[in-house]
Chains A and B, each alone.
Chain A
Amino acid sequence: MKQKMDDVQHAGKFQKVGIVLAIAFYILSVIMVIRNYGGMSVMFDPDTKVITIAHWQLEDGFREGINAAIAEYEKAKAAEGVKVKVRQVAVPVRGYPQWYLTQLIGGEPADVLEITGSSDILNQYFTPLSPYIGEPNPWNKGTPLQDMSWRESFADDMLSALDTAYSEFFAVCTFMHTTRVYVNLDLFEEATGKKQLPETLSEWLEDCKKMREYGIKTERPIIPIGVRGFDKGTLGQLFNNYNSQLNTDLSDTGSPYGFGVMPGELFRQINSGELDKKRLLEPVEIVTEIGQYFADGFPAIDLEQTKYLFFSGNVGFFIDGTWNAFSMINNAPFRVGVIQIPMLDQGHPLGAKAFGRITELGSGISGRFGIPKKTKHFDLALDFLRFLTSWKVNQLVMVDHCKWMSSLKEVQYEGIMKTFEPVNNTSHTAISSPFSATGSLSTRLTLQRLENSIINRPADPMQYFWDDYLSVRPQLIDEVEEASRGILRNLWSMDGTRSALSVGVAISAPQSLNAKLYQMRSNINLEGIVSRFRAADGNVTLVEEMKKLEEYGKNGN
C-alpha cells in the first residue's frame, strides 16, 4: 500500500514536470512565431503590411542576398511613408512542391512564390503578369535599363518565363546559371608543378594524369575530377558541351526549316549517307576519355559527398554549376580557382574538327517567381517583385551575395565572377544530340550508356554506344510515339485556350486594352500550335528514320 502511495506521488511529480515543460515550450513557440512574423510591432500595428517571399534556394548566399534586398526595400518604402515588412521563407526542395501546392490550395500562400509544377497549376493559382511587363520597371530609374520595358530588361526578354500552354507570363526569372570547373589550386600546383590552369582538353587530361600519378606517389586518394555521379548531371553537361563543340556546324543543315537541328533530319542524313554517324558519336569517345579521371565508383557518389571530398582536399577539379559558387569558394580550406570546361584543341585527335567554345547567352535563365491570385497585397507584391528584378538590387542579391549570375541585361561582373559570365566571344551555339533529345527515357539511357562506357572501358566506345542505342530502339520509338499522342492531346487543350481567348475578345470592349491582350494571347496560342505541328511532323520523320538505322559498320546509301 505504502509502495503504491509512493508510486502515485512519484507519478504526480512527473506529471507536474510534464505540464510545466508543455507550458514552457508553448510559450517558446509563441515567442518564435511572433519573432518570425516580424516582431510585436509588426503583429500589433494595423498599418504595417506584411508580405512573404518563399522559395527553395537553400544554397549559401541566396537567403543572405534576399535579406539584404528586403532591408533595402523596407528602407525605401519607409522613405515613401509605407510601412512594410517582408518575410523570407525557405523550404527544402524535396518538400517544396508539396508544401507549395498545399499553400496554394489552402488559400494562404506567400505573396511572392518561386513557382514549379504544371501549367495548369500556374493558370489556376497565379496572377498573369502580361498586363504589367510592357511598362518600364520603376525601380530601374537612373540605371542602364531605365528606358526598357520590364520584359526587355531581362537578358532573354522574358522568354524563359513564357508559359506556352497558356501563352501567358505567370512569373519572372531572377537568376541565371552556367557550368564551370572549380579547381583546388593548392593541390593543382603541388601535383602539376605549375600555376597555369588548363584551357584546352589536352592540357586538362595531362594535368589529371599528373594528379593521379601524384596521388600514387604520395599514397593519397587523389581524385582528378569530382563529379555529381548520382544524378548523372555532370555527364550530361560534358556530353552536351563537347557535342556542341564538335557538331555545331550541323545547325546550318540539320533542319529543313532553318537554323538548328532536328533529330529526325540528322538520322535521315545518316541513313542516306550524307552524314557519317561517327560525327555524332565522337563526343562519346571524349567523355569516356575524361571519365577515366572521375572518382572510382562515381555513379554512387552524390553532390554532397563530392563536395565533401573536394573540401577534404583530395579532388583536383570539380565540375558543377554556379549555384554552388558561394559555398565552393568561401568554405574551402584552400584556394579555389574557376575555369570554363576546357576547349577541344588542335592537339587532341578530334580537335581538328572542333569549332571552339559555344555561346551561353540566352540560356540557363531560371528562378521563376510569381504572385498567387490569393495574395492580400497584390500591389505590394508586384512592387517587391519589380524591386527584386531591378538592375541595382538584382546585382546586389545575385552577384554580390550569391555569386550567381543575374537574369538581367547590362549587369557587371568583377573578379572571380567574370569567369562565370556567359561566354559570348564565340561564333557558335549549342546543339542537342539526337541520342538524348527525343524524350526523358532517351536522356536517361544515354547518360546510363555513357556511364557504362566509362566503367567498362570498351575497346571502341563509339561502337558500344551505337550498338546499345540500337538495342533499346523499340523503347525509344515507343517514347516518341507516346510524345506524339501527347502533342495531339496538347493540341486539344490549346484549342481550349484558343476558344477561351476568343470568348475573352468577344466580351471585352472593342479596342480596349483587355481586348488587345486577349488578341495578343490568342495569336501567341496559334503560333504555338504551329510549333506543335512542327513537333508532331518531326516525330513522324524521327520514328521512320529510327527504324531504318543500321548497324555500326554499315553506312547509309
Chain B
Amino acid sequence: MAIEVPFRKLRYYWPVYLLIAVPLLLVLVFNYHPIINGIWHMFYRWDGDTVEEFVGFRNIVKMWNDSSLWWSFGVVSIFVVANVVKMILPIVVAVVLHHVISDKMGYFYRILFVIPMIIPGMVGILIWKYFYEPNSGILNNLLRILGFISPTDTIQWLSDPMLVIPSLVFMGFPWVGAFGVLIYLAGLQGISEDVYEAAGIDGAGPLTIFFKIELPLIMTQVRINLILMIIGTIQGWENIYLFLGVDGGPGGIATVPGLMIFREAFSRGLFGYGCAVGFVIFAVTLVLTLFNNRVVRVRK
C-alpha cells in the first residue's frame, strides 16, 4: 500500500527514486517525446526530415475539409461496433470452459484454444487473404462445391465495394481469440464456489447465474478488453493495408484513419498532416475511453 513520504525524508528513499528514474526517463524519451513531437509538428509542413515550415492551423483546416478522413472515421466506427459484438463469443466460450466438469478435458480444451496463438498474425492475415481470393480461394470454391455459385462465377469479396467492409468484419470468424477467453476464464475462476452454492440454493438457473453473478464479476476484465479493443480498432490499419493495399480497397472504401496517416505521411511525404490526423485519433480514443469508463461500471 502506498504511503505518503514527507519531502524532507525523501533522501532516505533515494534508491527507490533512482530505480524509478531510469524507466521513467525511457518512457519520457520513447513514449512521451514522440507524442509531444507529433503535436508540435501538426502545426508544420513537415516531410519527416529537414523540411519544417510553420503553417499554423492549415493542417487542421485541411482535415476539416477532407471528406475521405470523415469517411475513414465512419468506417472505423463500423469496425468498433462489430468488434463489440464479437466480444460476446469469447465470454460465452470462457463460461462454457469454466463449467467443464473434467479437469483433464478442461485443460485439453484450453490448450486447443491457445495453440492458434502461436501462429504469427501476419500469417493469419495472409491465410484469410487467400480465403477471400476470388478465383481459387477457399470460400468461393466452397460455394461452388455447395452449388451456390456456378464453377465459373466468382464473388469479389475484396473488390466489390458492397462486400469489402462485411468481408473485413467477418475476418477472424469464429472470433474466439485465445487472449480474451483466457482473460475471462481467469476472472471466472476467481469466483468463489460459495457464490455458486448460494445461487443454487436460491434456485437460480444457468442463465440467471450468468447474467446476475458471472458477468458482473468479470466486468473488470470486460471493461479492460473493451478499452483495449476500442483503442486497437481505432488505431489499427495493418490488416487493411495487407488486404487492400495503401489505397484501402476500391475507391478507398475501407480506408481507416490509421491507414490515412500512413498514406499521407509515408506515400505523400505529408508528415505534418499525418501528425494532425494522429492527434485527432488520440482525441477520439481518449473521449471514447472516458465514455467507456463512465458507462461500463464495475460493481465492487
Using a CB–CB cutoff of 8 Å, the interface residues on chain A facing chain B are: 118, 120, 215-216, 219-223, 229-231, 295-301, 305, 308-309, 312, 314, 440-441, 444, 448, 451-452, 455, 482, 485, 489
- Would you give 9 A-B contacts (Cβ < 8 Å), ordered by A? A220-B152, A231-B245, A295-B135, A295-B154, A296-B134, A298-B159, A301-B135, A308-B136, A489-B51
Which B-chain residue is minimally distant from A216 (CB atoms)?
A: B152
Mask: chain B, 157-190; 1 = CB below 8 Å from A; 0 = not: 1111100000000000000000000000000000
A297 and B159 contact, CB distance less than 8 A: yes
A300 and B135 contact, CB distance less than 8 A: no
| In the complex, chain B residues whose CB is within 8 Å of the CB of A440 | 267-268
| In the complex, chain B residues whose CB is within 8 Å of the CB of A223 | 135
Pick from A120, A300, A448, A489: contact of B251, CB below 8 A. Answer: A448
The 10 closest A-B pairs by CB, nearest first: A297-B134, A297-B156, A300-B158, A296-B154, A297-B159, A219-B151, A299-B159, A296-B134, A300-B159, A296-B156
* Complex Cα–Cα for A461 and B172 (A): 37
Which B-chain residue is minimally distant from A306 (CB atoms)?
A: B135
- Measured between C-beta atoms, what is the minimum distance from B122 to chain A in Å? 11
- Measured between C-beta atoms, what is the minimum distance from A210 to chain B in Å? 15
* Complex Cα–Cα for A216 and B245 (A): 31
A221 and B250 contact, CB distance less than 8 A: no
A309 and B135 contact, CB distance less than 8 A: yes
A215 and B152 contact, CB distance less than 8 A: yes
* Complex Cα–Cα for A229 and B158 (A): 12
List which B10-41 residues lie within 8 A (CB) of chain A.
Answer: none
| In the complex, chain B residues whose CB is within 8 Å of the CB of A482 | 270
| In the complex, chain A residues whose CB is within 8 Å of the CB of B73 | none
B154 and A300 contact, CB distance less than 8 A: no
B251 and A297 contact, CB distance less than 8 A: no
| In the complex, chain B residues whose CB is within 8 Å of the CB of A312 | 136
A444 and B247 in contact, given A219-B152, A220-B152 (Cβ under 8 angstroms): yes
B252 and A448 contact, CB distance less than 8 A: yes
B250 and A301 contact, CB distance less than 8 A: no
* Complex Cα–Cα for A452 and B51 (A): 35
| In the complex, chain B residues whose CB is within 8 Å of the CB of A229 | 159
A300 and B132 contact, CB distance less than 8 A: yes
B136 and A452 contact, CB distance less than 8 A: no
Per the CB 8 Å criterion, the residue count for chain B at the interface is: 32
* Complex Cα–Cα for A365 and B255 (A): 35
* Complex Cα–Cα for A120 and B244 (A): 33
* Complex Cα–Cα for A297 and B156 (A): 5
* Complex Cα–Cα for A394 and B222 (A): 64
- Measured between C-beta atoms, what is the minimum distance from B292 to chain A in Å? 34
B135 and A314 contact, CB distance less than 8 A: yes
| In the complex, chain A residues whose CB is within 8 Å of the CB of B135 | 221, 223, 295-297, 301, 309, 314
List which B239-281 residues lie within 8 A (CB) of chain A.
Answer: 243-245, 247, 249-252, 267-268, 270
B243 and A297 contact, CB distance less than 8 A: no
* Complex Cα–Cα for A308 and B126 (A): 15
Which A-chain residue is minimally distant from B144 (CB atoms)?
A: A221
Which B-chain residue is minimally distant from A439 (CB atoms)?
A: B268
B214 close to chain A: CB less than 8 A: no
- Measured between C-beta atoms, what is the minimum distance from B263 to chain A in Å? 9
A452 and B251 contact, CB distance less than 8 A: yes
| In the complex, chain A residues whose CB is within 8 Å of the CB of B49 | 118, 120
* Complex Cα–Cα for A448 and B156 (A): 17
| In the complex, chain B residues whose CB is within 8 Å of the CB of A452 | 250-251
Which B-chain residue is minimally distant from A478 (CB atoms)?
A: B62
Pick from B45, B134, B151, B250: contact of A455, CB below 8 A. Answer: B250
| In the complex, chain A residues whose CB is within 8 Å of the CB of B270 | 482
A220 and B151 contact, CB distance less than 8 A: yes
New contact pairs (19) apart from A295-B135, A300-B243, CB-CB < 8 Å: A219-B152, A221-B135, A221-B151, A222-B152, A229-B159, A230-B245, A296-B154, A297-B159, A299-B159, A299-B250, A300-B132, A300-B156, A301-B134, A314-B135, A314-B136, A444-B247, A448-B250, A485-B45, A489-B51
Residue among A215, A221, A309, A451 with most chain B CB within 10 A: A221
Residue among A301, A451, A482, A489 with most chain B CB within 10 A: A301
| In the complex, chain A residues whose CB is within 8 Å of the CB of B136 | 221, 308-309, 312, 314
Pick from A215, A222, A305: contact of B133, CB below 8 A. Answer: A305
* Complex Cα–Cα for A299 and B270 (A): 26
| In the complex, chain A residues whose CB is within 8 Å of the CB of B243 | 300
B152 and A221 contact, CB distance less than 8 A: yes
- Measured between C-beta atoms, what is the minimum distance from B249 to chain A in Å? 7
A297 and B158 in contact, given A308-B136, A309-B135 (Cβ under 8 angstroms): yes
A448 and B268 in contact, given A221-B135, A305-B133 (Cβ under 8 angstroms): no
B134 and A300 contact, CB distance less than 8 A: yes
| In the complex, chain A residues whose CB is within 8 Å of the CB of B244 | 299-300
| In the complex, chain A residues whose CB is within 8 Å of the CB of B252 | 448
A296 and B245 in contact, given A440-B268, A448-B252 (Cβ under 8 angstroms): no
* Complex Cα–Cα for A476 and B250 (A): 19
List which B119-140 residues lie within 8 A (CB) of chain A.
Answer: 129-130, 132-136
| In the complex, chain B residues whose CB is within 8 Å of the CB of A120 | 49
| In the complex, chain B residues whose CB is within 8 Å of the CB of A448 | 247, 250-252
Residue among A297, A312, A452 with most chain B CB within 10 A: A297
| In the complex, chain B residues whose CB is within 8 Å of the CB of A295 | 134-135, 154
* Complex Cα–Cα for A215 and B249 (A): 28
Which B-chain residue is minimally distant from A230 (CB atoms)?
A: B245
| In the complex, chain A residues whose CB is within 8 Å of the CB of B150 | 219
* Complex Cα–Cα for A223 and B134 (A): 11
| In the complex, chain A residues whose CB is within 8 Å of the CB of B130 | 305
- Measured between C-beta atoms, what is the minimum distance from A128 to chain B in Å? 22
| In the complex, chain A residues whose CB is within 8 Å of the CB of B247 | 444, 448
Which B-chain residue is minimally distant from A312 (CB atoms)?
A: B136
| In the complex, chain B residues whose CB is within 8 Å of the CB of A485 | 45, 53
- Measured between C-beta atoms, what is the minimum distance from A313 to chain B in Å? 11
* Complex Cα–Cα for A455 and B150 (A): 20
* Complex Cα–Cα for A120 and B49 (A): 11
Residue among B133, B154, B157, B160 with most chain A CB within 10 A: B133
* Complex Cα–Cα for A299 and B132 (A): 12
* Complex Cα–Cα for A215 and B159 (A): 22
- Measured between C-beta atoms, what is the minimum distance from B288 to chain A in Å? 29
* Complex Cα–Cα for A4 and B223 (A): 41
- Measured between C-beta atoms, what is the minimum distance from B73 to chain A in Å? 18
- Measured between C-beta atoms, what is the minimum distance from B220 to chain A in Å? 35
| In the complex, chain A residues whose CB is within 8 Å of the CB of B45 | 485
List which B43-71 residues lie within 8 A (CB) of chain A.
Answer: 45, 49, 51, 53
* Complex Cα–Cα for A221 and B243 (A): 23
- Measured between C-beta atoms, what is the minimum distance from A388 to chain B in Å? 32
A455 and B152 contact, CB distance less than 8 A: no
* Complex Cα–Cα for A441 and B136 (A): 33
Which A-chain residue is minimally distant from B156 (CB atoms)?
A: A297
- Measured between C-beta atoms, what is the minimum distance from A174 to chain B in Å? 28
| In the complex, chain B residues whose CB is within 8 Å of the CB of A451 | 250
B152 and A299 contact, CB distance less than 8 A: no
| In the complex, chain A residues whose CB is within 8 Å of the CB of B267 | 440, 444
- Measured between C-beta atoms, what is the minimum distance from B163 to chain A in Å? 10
- Measured between C-beta atoms, what is the minimum distance from A282 to chain B in Å? 23
* Complex Cα–Cα for A296 and B163 (A): 13
* Complex Cα–Cα for A499 and B183 (A): 64
| In the complex, chain B residues whose CB is within 8 Å of the CB of A219 | 150-152
- Measured between C-beta atoms, what is the minimum distance from A398 to chain B in Å? 30
- Measured between C-beta atoms, what is the minimum distance from A99 to chain B in Å? 18
A441 and B251 in contact, given A230-B245, A297-B158, A298-B159 (Cβ under 8 angstroms): no
* Complex Cα–Cα for A67 and B229 (A): 50
| In the complex, chain B residues whose CB is within 8 Å of the CB of A215 | 152
